[in-house]
Amino acid sequence: MQPPELKSLRIFQTLGRVTAQSLERCDQLLLLLPPKPASRLFRQLPHGGKIQQVMRKSAAGSTPGFTTRLPNKRQTLVVAGTLAKDTSSFEQLTLGRKLVTAAGGGEKAGSMGICVLGFDADNQATITKNILAAALAAACELPSFKRDKPPSPIKNLRLLGAINRLNTARCEAEAKGNNLARWLTTMPPNKMDAVGYASLARNLAREQGWSFKRFGSKELTKLGAGAFLAVAQGNDNDSACIVRLRYRPGKASANADLSLVGKGIVFDTGGTNLKPFNAMLDMHGDMQGSAVALGTLLAIAELQLPIAVDCWLALTENRTGPNAYKSQDVVTAANGKTIQTIHTDAEGRMALADTLVLASRDEPGLIFDYATLTGTCVSAITTRYSGVFTNQASLHPHLKRVGRNCGERVWPFPIGKEFMEDLKSDTADFMQCSPKGAGDHILAASFLAEFVENDTPWVHMDLSAGDNDGGLGHIGSKFTGFGVRYTMSVILDENLFKANL
């Protein structure tokens, strides 16, 4: 099954004063104002007197602030909210999601307007783009297998009252990447197995002009990728593979400036150490690290960024069965290091280990890997933040600032040889994980660092915010696609892989 056509909604922009005619084109209007808007702002709006009157009667601090219908032919539904000038990106995105949800409840799909008044040009542009991001996320058609499929909630978007024309290309590209990541993660495991996933990646590569290579079990055996193959050997077919995609615009260098690596466990039973029911229920989402990597690559390609990018997807199931790997097995990874397996549900670090070896041997400027890797990261920072780890400690303030500025918030954790003391083994170079379990997110990242070759700068993101009940930030679905927007900010706002290393 292929994702829906990844085209953005049509976005119209109307500069200057909001007119009655422009409002007649909107079925819903998202209105953003300062906390105590001056009366002159309402005079800039048709029916502004009514809007001001409703606002005065509304409950202070409620979200959204108030709703009303305009007495025009369209019966435009106005859903309004207020934002202070120092409101964070995360708070702006969250309000955008709540306004879009309130506007869409019970309404037929139509034209949604966004109007931000009472702010200077820079703040107006930032707020508008964050609300636009929420609307583009809400318009995504996630997989549905119901006989009566719900219609798309938004047909087109209208930006009203802008001081300057906005360049929305980045918003649209990030939305396409995030929507692809969420669509893939939502797919049922019998509809998107490793074979289907690799086929989808091949088709997308053909459409986008990327190179595609699939490393199957025979090639991986020759490469000595024993860590990945240990997980894959429990499958009842030869579906497991590592996929490499390459984006090379114009005269880009052969070596990648950036390498994206994603954990793609398309279903995780826990293996021989079988998960209990509640822990296994949503394990079709254990491939979302790979979905974020692929979605990020799509966003980069949509913007035709002048950087060379590799994308590596480690695709397999983690199954039970007579051939599944076991505790106390010893396997050899592609870099020759031996691993004593402790817990078969720590499969993600095994699959990523060999993938990181292959990615780093190509000597990219920076590796960014994504994985729903550990429960201890969720315990440490909840599902509202994701954890980041790096072999370049100087990157910590940059990584934290990126999250704060883009609204996908992260928290840095340490790694290093001192933590590998907890993974000492009597039978191998080191253990896969500690039987004690404490600080497993730090131990897992320290383990992964052992497989990054050539002193390649590397960042690992443990996606504790990859799924959050009720959505997160501008995303309304349980699976959030966390990481696409973040990585685009790393590239476009911080330029980490060139400037700061």
**CA pair distance 334, 347, nearest whole angstrom:** 16
Containing domain of residue 123, as a range? Answer: 10-167
For residue 64, whether the previous peptide bond is cis, meaning omega lies within 30 degrees of 0, is yes
Contact between 111 and 156 (Cβ < 8 Å): yes
Residue environment code for 104-139, b if the CB has 16+ CB neighbours within 10 A, otherwise e? beeeeebbbbbbbbbbeeebbbebbbbbbbbbbbbb
The residue annotated as part of the active site, out of 349, 409, 478, 485, is 349
Contacts of residue 122, defined as CB under 8 A and 6 or more positions apart, other chains included, come to none
pLDDT tens digit string along 77-104? 999 999 998 899 999 999 999 999 999 8
Q: Do residue 56 and residue 142 come from a single domain?
A: yes
Q: At 330, which CATH number?
A: 3.40.630.10
Q: Do residue 75 and residue 28 come from a single domain?
A: yes
pLDDT at 108 over 90: no
**CA pair distance 276, 441, nearest whole angstrom:** 21
**CA pair distance 63, 44, nearest whole angstrom:** 23
Residue 194 lies in a domain: no
Q: Do residue 357 and residue 486 come from a single domain?
A: yes
**pTM of the entire predicted model:** 0.96
275 belongs to the catalytic site: yes
Q: At 122, which CATH number?
A: 3.40.220.10
**CA pair distance 130, 474, nearest whole angstrom:** 8
Average of pLDDT values for 192-203?
96
Tokens 């422009």 belong to which residue? Answer: 22
Average of pLDDT values for 161-178?
94
Residue 441 lies in a domain: yes
pLDDT at 127 over 50: yes
Q: How many alpha carbons lie under 13 Å from residue 445 in its C-beta half-sphere?
A: 29
Average of pLDDT values for 2-20?
82
**Percent of the chain at pLDDT exceeding 70:** 95
For residues 154 and 383, the model is more confident at 383
Residue 206 lies in a domain: no
Average of pLDDT values for 263-287?
96
Average of pLDDT values for 22-27?
94
Q: Do residue 97 and residue 158 come from a single domain?
A: yes
How many Cβ atoms from other residues are within 10 Å of residue 212's Cβ? 17
Q: Do residue 181 and residue 127 come from a single domain?
A: no
Q: What is the mean pLDDT of the chain?
A: 93
pLDDT tens digit string along 470-480? 999 999 999 99
Residue 204 lies in a domain: no
Average of pLDDT values for 440-445?
98
pLDDT at position 425 is 98
Q: Do residue 233 and residue 97 come from a single domain?
A: no
182 belongs to the catalytic site: no
The residue annotated as part of the active site, out of 170, 275, 361, 400, is 275
pLDDT tens digit string along 33-78? 999 888 888 988 999 998 998 888 776 556 677 899 999 999 999 9
Q: Do residue 162 and residue 181 come from a single domain?
A: no
Contacts of residue 195, defined as CB under 8 A and 6 or more positions apart, other chains included, come to 237, 239
pLDDT at 488 over 50: yes
Give the confidence band of 147 by pLDDT, cuts at 50, 70, 90: confident
pLDDT at 251 over 90: no
**Percent of the chain at pLDDT exceeding 90:** 83
Give the confidence band of 1 by pLDDT, cuts at 50, 70, 90: low
Q: Do residue 182 and residue 247 come from a single domain?
A: yes
What are the two backbone dihedrals, phi and then psi, of residue 112, each rounded to the nearest 5 degrees? -110, 125
pLDDT at 106 over 80: no
Short-list 128, 119, 152, CA closest to 13: 128
How many Cβ atoms from other residues are within 10 Å of residue 384's Cβ? 14
Residue 412 lies in a domain: no
3-state DSSP assignment of residue 72: coil
C-alpha to C-alpha distances, 78 to 37, 133, 332, nearest whole angstrom? 16, 19, 61
Average of pLDDT values for 414-424?
97
pLDDT at position 60 is 56
Lowest mean pLDDT among 49-63, 112-126, 176-190, 210-224: 49-63
What's the structural domain count of the chain? Answer: 2
Average of pLDDT values for 280-309?
97
- Strand 330-332 with 309-318, pairing: unpaired
pLDDT at 371 over 60: yes
pLDDT at position 169 is 96
pLDDT at 151 over 90: no
Q: Do residue 52 and residue 116 come from a single domain?
A: yes
